Chain A
Amino acid sequence: MVPKFNVTPELVARFAEMFDVPMSKEDLAEIPTQLAGGFSGIADLWRVDVTGYEPATILPVERSAEK
């Protein structure tokens, strides 16, 4: 399922209030457009079948000593 992100200035303002993200009037004018662009890419992540892939660690490289 590829989510449909609905980014509007009103919803951005409500999210910001809910999660205590400070937003100026200027931010509210710009960020919804920027977010809409970012989220269009994020939607692509949901087109990938990630069955079997779980991050054991968020760091990309194991740290154990070389054998």
Chain B
Amino acid sequence: MSESEVAFAPLTSVARRLKDGEITSLSLTRLMLDRIKRLNSTLNCYITVREDEALAEAEGLDRLLQAGTYLGPLHGVPIAIKDNMATAGVRTTGGSRILKDWRPDADAHVVARTKQAGGVILGKVTLYEFAYGGWHDDYGPETRNPWDLTRSCSASSNGPACAVAAGLAYASLGTDTGGSVRLPAAACGLTGLKPTYGLVSRAGVLAAGYSLDHVGPFGRTVADVAAYLQAIAGPDLGDPASARRPPKDFAADLEGGVSGLRIGVPKAQPNELIESEMRAAFEAALDVLRKEGAKLIEVELPDHLLSRTCMWAISASELAESHREWLATRASDYSPTVRGLIKQGAFLPATEYVRAQRVRQKIIAAYEEVMKRVELIAMPVVPFPAWKIGSADVMIGQVQENLMAGLTRYCPPFNITGMPAIAVPNGFNRDGLPLGFQIAGRLFDDATVLRAARGYERATDWRTRHPPLQ
């Protein structure tokens, strides 16, 4: 295999070869570190690289395998972690100036689980400041999209998506408060899962809006994401929202296909703006699902913009509460964008927060009704592809739309409801930029979401393309 073929192989493929003794963790880790050295100055996706530690851990994991000890589905696989997840003894910045020198004493639950499953943590990757709305210039120029270096990897888990898309890690972990796993996955041609709220612990992860925050994996294939989810899912007393139920076997039914599954397709909503190529790619994805045997059913969903407003009111309030002390003592250390967003939250009266929570309950009830008739919902992820870095607005046809408003059109309903949702690549536009759509499912039925995504993936070959990086 060429270097490129090895670097862009799926996690599950290298994990199998590692287990069979065909390759070593040390060779994979060296390959990733070499590529990071070569490409990170262009892409700017790693904040901290654990070169010596990762090599030592890889050697140790190889020795364990040789001795017959297999830790789990990530054994020996090089992984990247978003820098809002605590890593013991390793700088965890949150993409901020405020935490630029923070070295936590303990690992976040998901980081510990990654290590327990045998993952080699290559380093910590970039994000919007505190995973909320804006880039902090202390971390250099914003992370570049490997498919087009003038464009963004989207928000806020830009580093986790960039690292996997560029062949600088085999998988990564990100967080999703209003779409921040699914949006970068779509912008970078990857698969990204926002699991059911409560399925994956957020203990040790910096909160953005804690009643909306989720941790989720990025991978090159649905099986990669399922494997990583298996490694991190399950109850944890350290997270007040962690569900007290054992995780299922997410790979068991992965090849079950979509035949017979009922997939809800939302009716077009008033004022819905989406680029024609994105709409066409979504329609084509629906055709594939139909041909594979899924039954598509038109469903009426609550106004997506209502979910977006709820998401904003709730997350801004929760963020402002948790940042109140720093806002008083370190205000000038925030980027202007994030400082402004936190302050907006500080101006929201409790009355509006409670109203948003009541509307949220109504939205949840409406989705519960819809989910009695279907197992899944298919929707676009975003109305436009990766945008030019520095843009504040985007053009959708002849209409100019605020970037952040457009970004948060389709993803927030599943943060509001807690439903699992996965972004899957579904094509490229005329400029060669990746496109994606999402499949959401019933609470704690992440397995069916993964099965449907795999059913679509199996019928297409979008996942096999990689960015033209040297």
Residues of A within 8 A of B332 (CB): 24
Given that A50-B355, A59-B241, A61-B443 are known contacts, is A15 also in contact with B347, CB under 8 Å in the complex? Answer: yes
Q: In the complex, how many angstroms separate the beta carbon of A38 from the nearest chain B beta carbon?
A: 6
- The answer to whether A60 and B343 touch across the interface, beta carbons within 8 angstroms, is no
Chain B residues, CB < 8 A from A45: 306, 309-310, 313, 352, 355-356, 359
C-beta contact mask, B192-219 vs A, less than 8 Å → 1, else 0? 0000111000000000000100000000
Interface residue? B335 (CB, 8 A): no
Please give, as numbers and ranges, the residues of chain B lying within 8 Å of A54 by CB-CB distance: 358, 361
Of B19-27, B242-250, B288-296, B459-467, the stretch lying at the interface with chain A is B242-250
For residue B220, CB closer than 8 A to chain A, the reply is no
Please tell me if B327 contacts chain A, counting CB pairs below 8 Å: yes
Q: Which residues of B contact A48 (CB under 8 A)?
A: 306, 359, 362
Q: Which residue of chain B has its CB nearest to the CB of A64?
A: B244
Asked if B309 contacts A41 (CB within 8 A), the reply is yes
**Given A20-B328, A21-B346, A53–B361 Cβ distance below 8 Å?**
yes
CB distance from B365 to the nearest CB of A (A): 7
Q: State A35–B345 Cα separation when bound (angstroms).
A: 9
B174 within 8 Å of A (CB atoms) = no
- Whether the pair B306, A58 counts as a contact (CB closer than 8 A) is no
Determine how close the nearest CB of chain A comes to the CB of B405; give it in whole angstroms. Answer: 9
- Given the interface pairs A48-B306, A55-B358, A61-B243, the reply to whether A22 lies near B443 with Cβ below 8 Å is no
Q: Min CB distance, A28 to chain B, in Å?
A: 10
Known: A45-B309, A45-B352. A63 touches B358 (CB 8 A): no
CA gap between A54 and B198 in the complex, in Å? 21
Is B61 positioned at the interface, with any CB of A under 8 Å from its CB? Answer: no
Nearest Cβ in chain B — how far from A7, in angstroms? 9
Interchain CB contact under 8 A, A66 and B340: no
CB <8 Å contact, A27 and B243 = no
CA distance in complex: A45, B354 (Å) = 10
What count of chain A residues pass the 8 Å CB interface test? 35
Interface residues of B in 431-454 (CB under 8 A from A): 443-444
Count, A-B residue pairs, CB within 8 A = 112
B211 contacts across to A, CB distance below 8 A: 58-60
A42 touches B309 (CB 8 A): yes
Interface residues of A in 1-47 (CB under 8 A from B): 12, 15-16, 19-24, 26-27, 30-31, 34-35, 38, 41-42, 44-46
Provide the residues of chain A in CB contact with B82, threshold 8 Å: none
Contacts of B327 in A (CB 8 A): 21-22
Of all chain B residues, the one with the shortest Cβ separation from A26 is B336
Given known A-B contacts A22-B328, A27-B340, A60-B417, A50 and B305 have beta carbons under 8 A apart: no
Q: Looking across the interface, which residue of chain A has its beta carbon closest to that of B417?
A: A60
CB-CB under 8 A from B443, the residues of chain A are 61
Q: How far is the CA of A65 from the CA of B310 in the complex (A)?
A: 28
Asked, given contacts A50-B361, A60-B417, A63-B242, whether A34 binds B313 with beta carbons under 8 Å apart, the answer is no
How distant is the Cα of A66 from the Cα of B357 in the complex, in angstroms? 25
Instruction: From the candidates B198, B312, B358, name the one contacting A50 in the complex (CB within 8 A).
Output: B358
Asked if residues B418 and A58 are in contact (CB atoms below 8 Å), the reply is no
**A41 CA / B355 CA spacing, docked (Å):** 12
Q: Is the CB of A61 within 8 A of B197?
A: yes
Q: In the bound complex, what is the Cα–Cα distance between A45 and B381 (angstroms)?
A: 23
Question: Please, which residues of chain A bring their CB within 8 A of the CB of B316?
Answer: 38
Given A12-B347, A60-B360, the answer on whether A53 and B365 have CB atoms closer than 8 Å is: yes
Contact partners of A55 in chain B: CB under 8 A: 354, 357-358, 360-361
CB of A47, distance to nearest CB on chain B (Å): 9
A23 to B164, alpha carbons, bound, how many Å?
Answer: 40
B364 CB–A CB distance under 8 Å: yes
Q: Is the CB of A34 within 8 A of B361?
A: no
Chain B residues with CB under 8 A of A19: 346
Interfacial chain A residues near B344, Cβ < 8 Å: 31, 34-35, 38
Whole-angstrom distance between the alpha carbons of A10 and B87 in the complex? 44
**B416 in the interface (beta carbon within 8 A):** yes
Contacting B331 at CB < 8 Å: which of A12, A24, A38?
A24
- Complex CA distance for A26 and B340, rounded to whole angstroms: 10
Give the interface of B toward A (CB within 8 A). 196-198, 211, 240-245, 305-306, 308-310, 312-314, 316, 327-328, 331-332, 336, 339-340, 343-344, 346-348, 352, 354-362, 364-365, 416-418, 443-444
Other than the given A41-B308, A42-B309, 4 more pairs (CB < 8 A) read A23-B343, A34-B340, A42-B313, A60-B197
Give me the 9 closest cross-chain CB pairs, A-B, nearest first: A60-B418, A41-B309, A53-B361, A50-B358, A55-B357, A61-B418, A66-B245, A61-B198, A53-B362
In the complex, 30 of the A-B residue pairs with CB atoms within 8 angstroms, ordered by the A residue number, are: A19-B346, A22-B327, A22-B331, A23-B343, A24-B332, A26-B336, A27-B340, A31-B340, A35-B344, A38-B348, A42-B352, A45-B306, A45-B310, A45-B313, A45-B352, A48-B306, A50-B355, A53-B361, A54-B358, A55-B361, A58-B314, A60-B211, A60-B364, A61-B196, A61-B198, A61-B241, A61-B243, A63-B198, A63-B242, A66-B444
